[in-house]
Chain A
Amino acid sequence: MSDLKKLGVEVLAMSVDSMFTHKIWQEEELSKMVEGGVPFPMLSDAGGKVGQVYGVYDEEAGVENRGRFIIDPDGVIQAVEILMPPVGRSEAELFRQVQAFQLVRASKGKEATPAGWQPGEPTLKPGPDLVGKVWQVWKPK
């Protein structure tokens, strides 16, 4: 989470629990797992109305699936991941994707990141010169 903060990313967590439940969870359990508790706002979507609009609310179970949305500074959704409840997400993959989208934005769309790209590795510069030549600049592991 501190890594995301360094990238200037604001994290918002949301579930159907009330803000009162969030308070007790933070104070009674999360603060024992993370020093000081989780640093981001915990939002309450009682009834799942926001989750419905985002396509993550499971009406039968009455809970929200693990939906994760990367939203850029213009409010545009750049990435979506939705997992069923039993499988947790990967912060490393989130971190990688945020850095990739930030790089693409900083390049004003001139650069793209190939599959499996990691920060610091070469990017691709899509254009007429690259057609048929990707093999010269990018070799999948």
Chain B
Amino acid sequence: MGDEEMDLGCARPTGGPVGVQPEEVPEEREIKPTEEVRKPMVSVGKKAPDFEAPAFHEGKFKKIKLSDYLGKWVVLCFYPGDFTFV
């Protein structure tokens, strides 16, 4: 596994809906999200908030960005934790 594969960074909302470039993207985002980003911005009929996050898939570590899935149906599932029981 190369260093590149390990260096995926942390999950972060990109600060806007999918398919829309945020007007201003700070060069290096702080880990602490701003209050504005912390507010839930989710509603049916509205664009999904975009994000990128490190992932494990098909034996590899990779970075996944929601907006890369535009043009496809996506089911995004959150769950409480690995090695739990339900």
Contacts and interface: CB of A to CB of B under 8 A. Distances in A.
Q: Number of contact residues on B: which range applies?
A: 35 or more
9 contacts: A10-B72, A12-B77, A14-B11, A15-B81, A21-B82, A23-B61, A61-B80, A68-B75, A69-B76
A120 interface: no
A67 B43 CA distance: 13
Interface residues of A, number: 65
Give the top 3 A-B pairs by smallest Cβ distance, nearest first. A75-B18, A55-B40, A41-B57
A138 B11 CA distance: 46
Contacts, number: 202
A77 B83 contact: no
B11 A17 contact: no
Contact of B61 (A19, A69, A73, A98): A19
B53 A14 contact: yes
Interface string B64-77: 10110111111111
Given A46-B11, A49-B13, 17 more contacts: A10-B75, A14-B76, A14-B79, A19-B8, A42-B55, A42-B56, A49-B33, A53-B37, A63-B81, A64-B78, A64-B79, A66-B79, A67-B78, A69-B75, A74-B70, A77-B45, A85-B86
Contacts of B12: 49-50
